[in-house]
Amino acid sequence: MEQREDHVKRSTQGKLAAATQVSSAEYLKPLFRNLKQRNLPADVLARMAEIVHYMQKRQYQRANDAYLRLSIGNAPWPIGVTMVGIHERSAREKISSDQVAHVLNDEVSRKYIQSLKRLLTFHQTKYPPDDISQLMG
């Protein structure tokens, strides 16, 4: 960020990027604290390790898939919808509330997971993959 030219730093986009970087650094502090104290849940740690692994290999599509599994899980209705109509359906039991990812319900964990996504996006621009098909979004 310091290596940018002055006109870029003073622009609206430059100021926004600097503010985003500062807030992301703040949001990651609880994650580092949990890692240091070994308080991070095993499933969250495994998904984050998977994301970092794919980032290091520059396989950003797979890293993004791991991020989605971490943030919303594999639930058919990730936002918690369990009643999709006015009539009882035979497949309603497949839409259970135990598959909903509750990681994003906690404000602190939501912030550091979002910051991890920002790091993933930054890493992709800073270190592009050799194979263009590995770019995410």
The CA distance from 119 to 134, in Å, is: 16
The Cα 72–Cα 64 span in angstroms is: 12
Taking CA atoms, 116 is separated from 6, 13, 16, 78, 80, in Å, by 28, 21, 18, 19, 23
Q: What is the pLDDT of residue 103?
A: 67
Structure tokens at 113: 């997971």
Position 73 scores a pLDDT of 76
Q: How far apart are CA 55 and CA 1, in angstroms?
A: 21
Residue 114 CA to chain centroid, in angstroms?
A: 5
| Per-residue pLDDT at 27 | 94
Chain centre to alpha carbon of residue 97: 21
Distance CA(73)–CA(113), nearest Å, equals 13
The stretches in the chain having pLDDT less than 70 are: 1-2, 74-103, 137
